[in-house]
Chains A and B, each alone.
Chain A
Amino acid sequence: MLSYAEKIREIAGRLLSSGAVDMVIGFRQGTVPMMNEPHFAKTPAEVGKLVWDSHCGINLANYLTDRKEKIGIVAKGCDSRNIVTHVIENKIKREQLVVIGVPCKGMADKRRIAMKCPGEITEVIETETAITAAGNGFSQTFDKRDVLQHNCSLCIHRNPAIHDELVAELVEEQQGVDRYADVRSLEAMTPEQRWKYFEDLLAPCVRCYACRNACPLCYCPTCFVDESRPQWVGKGQDPSDVRTFHFLRAYHCAGRCTDCGACERSCPVGINMRVFTKKLEKDCLDLFGWEAGLSLDVRPPLDVYRPNDPNDFIK
């Protein structure tokens, strides 16, 4: 994926020079190891800052909401699926966009790498297949496949669902992935066990809303947790309010979530709130054969009524 950066700059430069787009949204080099910053270029002279490596995990579709410009956007598989969802939900028009597709091999999980290292990581070097993290007195090399974000290791849509440009040949999709082992283990729990699991999971939450705000699906002008007239949810740290936020946020993502992992990646206290959205993702697959964001031409299952919709859950 390391050669992608050059190609991204070339495409971005071309699109900006020709006036095909007003801005290109991608990533620029981060200021700390294993972090890049979402960034835009508005002139061909600015495209030199655009980069690509295994630390571009933030979902850039989040930066399209309600924009009016013509935009070139760098999109991994998951970003492209959220772009599709954005178009379907009228948050951006397809004709405003030039999708610069990135066949993706997965993003690195910086926490996983940090936990495997004995000290603070001050430098990270990446090759096509390996990531070397170094710090004071240590240097450790990891096979990229061993340090992927959890969602990336389960991903079966690495190639962009839609694209107008492509920065490289499509990559082979992962086969035979067991995507829902974690959900099945939750489903197998008794309600008491599950409740305890959720309590432990959410205990460190400080309600900074990074998970919600990093998510391209969460674009409501005022989120239900922020509503004050009427106020639906308490704003303190009462566990019932914290849970209400997480559960409802997840339900709002039903049939829309692409498991891009931006929520988990963004959490400052390391909560895997993806277990909630993954359960809903699995239900949508089981009940409707649905995976979000793969086509501009099909309405999402929770958008439409079909006489043969499964309704066994209504008792």
Chain B
Amino acid sequence: MKIIQIDKGQWVSGLNQAAAAYRLFGPVKEKEFHSFKPLTNGLQPDLSCLNTRLSPKSIIYPQSEVMFDYSLDERREDHHQLMEIAKDYSPKAVVGIRPCDAKAFVMVRLNFDTPDYQDPYWLRAYESTTFIGLGCEAPCSACFCTSAGCGPYHEEGLDVLLADAGDRYLAKVMTEKGAAFMAAAGWKTAADGQADATLAGMRQAAEAKITSFVPTDNLRSLPNNDLYNATFWEDVSFACINCGACTYSCPTCWCFDIQDETRGTSGVRLKNWDSCMYPLFTLHGTGHNPRGTKLHRVRQRFMHKLKYFVDKYDRGIQCVGCGRCVRLCPVNIDIRRVALMMNGFAASGEACAIES
């Protein structure tokens, strides 16, 4: 692990050089907000961006991805066969990703890369990508990353962590992938001996700026059924309109749906993002829906993120504290408030009332 310094004068030329070997993606402002875009035609990543409106998960995990195509034309020899389609898994690099979003990919991997099943689309895309992160100097007020096992300079999931040190970036190179990218960009000046201390100071200063905290310490020990049956879900879910703003903006939400779309005799099999907020998500072929009301669905989202995931993987909550769902929920349902209710459940009067 070493620290390279990149004079800002070498930033653009380095990126241009790296672009010969990588497809680059970065935060770009369009109209009123930032999103991750391919950096083509001289587009530069806007590193002043606090964070993108939607998470960068779509770079690895597109909202709608064709997996196979097929033909129903029986005159063709390969009719009714799913044919794998060609995809571009050449190296790409995401420049300026925030540490929270990079950690989110590590969490999503838990779902797409298990001993029994590997999702080849997600994995190949992930493995062909280098993540050049940028430490957060000015976390948003709804960010609670330090409560979610993450932080403004968190390194998990990143190949390189950049810190903006005025006239230069300090680049902490953590993986071979990261080193290869730095080499491709031609950035090789080792930072001076102070760089480590500078980075540590910046990290500390950024962490001190986080103002939002969420308690999660009791979640694991709370009985599932008690939480599930808590009476606060009516209060939590009342405002919910069951849209997908929270799940679609979330970097850790991974659920998808598979669809065949046929036109004439040819078609494609698609993998589309899905959302546990949608009634169709759990609708059975029989017509029965085990999560038939919005209370069921809202409860599922929070129980999954703050309880089932905690129990199953024992590595904290399924959330990196990026605050997007807090900022984007049209009706202000706030996961921090729900976490507080869930985590405090054992000590609440409600639990006592149920026991008595």
Chain A residues in contact with chain B, CB under 8 A? 30-32, 35-40, 58, 62-63, 111, 115, 120, 122, 136, 204, 206-210, 212-214, 222, 226, 228, 234-238, 262, 265-270
Contacts and interface: CB of A to CB of B under 8 A. Distances in A.
A270 B238 contact: no
Given A210-B244, A226-B280, A236 B64 contact: yes
B243 A206 contact: no
B238 A39 contact: yes
A269 B239 contact: no
Given A206-B248, A235-B272, A58 B330 contact: yes
B266 to A, nearest CB: 14
B241 A236 contact: no
A266 B241 contact: yes
Interface in B243-271: 243-245, 247-249, 257, 259, 261, 270
Given A136-B138, A234-B261, 10 more contacts: A31-B332, A31-B336, A37-B333, A208-B243, A210-B243, A210-B244, A213-B243, A234-B259, A262-B330, A268-B249
A39 B240 CA distance: 10
B50 interface: yes
Nearest to B257: A235
A228 B64 contact: no
Contact of B238 (A38, A210, A238): A38
Contact of B326 (A31, A236, A269): A31
Given A111-B32, A235-B272, A268-B245, A122 B332 contact: no
Nearest to A227: B280
Q: Is the interface of A mostly helix, strand, loop or mixed?
A: loop
B244 A39 contact: no
B35 to A, nearest CB: 8
A236 B270 contact: yes
B173 to A, nearest CB: 31
Give 9 nearest A-B pairs by CB, closest first: A266-B330, A236-B64, A208-B244, A210-B243, A213-B241, A37-B332, A38-B239, A237-B64, A35-B332
B248 A228 contact: no
Interface of B: 30-33, 35, 50, 53-54, 63-64, 138, 140-142, 238-239, 241-245, 247-249, 257, 259, 261, 270, 272, 275, 278-280, 326-328, 330-334, 336-337
Nearest to A35: B332
B263 to A, nearest CB: 10
Contacts of B247: 208
A206 B244 contact: yes
B334 A32 contact: yes
13 contacts: A31-B326, A32-B326, A38-B331, A204-B30, A208-B247, A210-B241, A214-B241, A235-B64, A237-B64, A265-B330, A266-B243, A266-B245, A270-B33
A206 B54 contact: yes
Contacts of A206: 54, 63, 244, 248
A132 to B, nearest CB: 17
Contacts of B33: 269-270
Given A136-B138, A234-B261, A270-B32, A213 B242 contact: yes
A126 B63 CA distance: 40
Contacts of B244: 206-210
Contacts of A62: 241
B323 to A, nearest CB: 9
A237 B58 CA distance: 12
A37 B239 contact: yes
Given A206-B63, A208-B245, A210-B245, A269 B259 contact: no
